[in-house]
A and B are shown apart, each in its own frame.
Chain A
Amino acid sequence: MIFFWAFVIGGLICVIGQIMFDVFKLTPGHTLSILVVVGAILDGFGLYEPLIDFAGAGVTVPITSFGNSLVHGAMQEAEMHGLIGVITGMFEVTSSGISAAIIFGMIGALIFKPKG
Chain B
Amino acid sequence: MADKKKKNLPPQAQKYQDFQEKREVKRPLLKNCIKAFLVGGFICFIGQLISTFYIYFFDFTEQTAGNPTTATLIFLTMLLTGFGVYDRIGQFAGAGSAVPVTGFGNAVISAAIEHRTEGFVLGVGGNMFKLAGTVILFGVFSAFIVALIKTILITWGGF
- Among A19, A66, A109, which residue has the most Cβ atoms of chain B within 10 A? A109
Name the A residues within 8 Å of B65 (CB-CB): 56, 60
- Asked whether A18 lies within 8 Å of B95 as measured between CB atoms, the reply is yes
- Asked whether B74 lies within 8 Å of A104 as measured between CB atoms, the reply is yes
Q: Counting CB contacts under 8 A, is B33 at the interface? A: yes
- Asked whether B66 lies within 8 Å of A109 as measured between CB atoms, the reply is no
Query: In the complex, what distance in Å separates the CA atom of A75 from the CA atom of B152?
Result: 11
Interface residues in B109-125 (C-beta closer than 8 Å to A):
109, 111-117, 120, 124
Of the four ranges (under 10, 10 to 19, 20 to 34, 35 or more), the interface on chain A belongs to: 35 or more
- Asked whether B78 lies within 8 Å of A22 as measured between CB atoms, the reply is no
- Asked whether A65 lies within 8 Å of B138 as measured between CB atoms, the reply is no
Number of A-B contacts (CB under 8 A): 279
Query: In the complex, what distance in Å separates the CA atom of A13 from the CA atom of B69?
Result: 18
Of the four ranges (under 10, 10 to 19, 20 to 34, 35 or more), the interface on chain B belongs to: 35 or more
- Asked whether A60 lies within 8 Å of B70 as measured between CB atoms, the reply is yes
- Asked whether A57 lies within 8 Å of B48 as measured between CB atoms, the reply is yes
Interface string of B109-151 (1 = CB under 8 A from A): 1011111110010001000100110111111101110111111
Query: In the complex, what distance in Å separates the CA atom of A101 from the CA atom of B124?
Result: 13
Least CB distance, A25 to chain B, in whole angstroms: 9
Which among B3-11, B12-20, B35-43 touches the partner chain?
Answer: B35-43
- Among A35, A37, A61, A69, which residue has the most Cβ atoms of chain B within 10 A? A61
- Asked whether B40 lies within 8 Å of A40 as measured between CB atoms, the reply is no
Name the B residues within 8 Å of A75 (CB-CB): 147, 150-151
Among the listed B66, B109, B149, which residue makes an inter-chain contact with A60, where contact means beta carbons less than 8 Å apart?
B66
- Asked whether A14 lies within 8 Å of B147 as measured between CB atoms, the reply is no
- Asked whether B69 lies within 8 Å of A57 as measured between CB atoms, the reply is yes
Nearest neighbor of B93 in chain A, beta-carbon distance = A14
Query: In the complex, what distance in Å separates the CA atom of A62 from the CA atom of B44?
Result: 8
Among the listed A49, A67, A78, which residue makes an inter-chain contact with B63, where contact means beta carbons less than 8 Å apart?
A49
Supplied contacts A21-B95, A37-B138, A105-B128, 6 more A-B pairs, CB within 8 Å? A19-B29, A31-B98, A40-B142, A57-B47, A62-B40, A83-B151
Closest 3 CB pairs of A and B: A10-B44, A14-B40, A11-B41
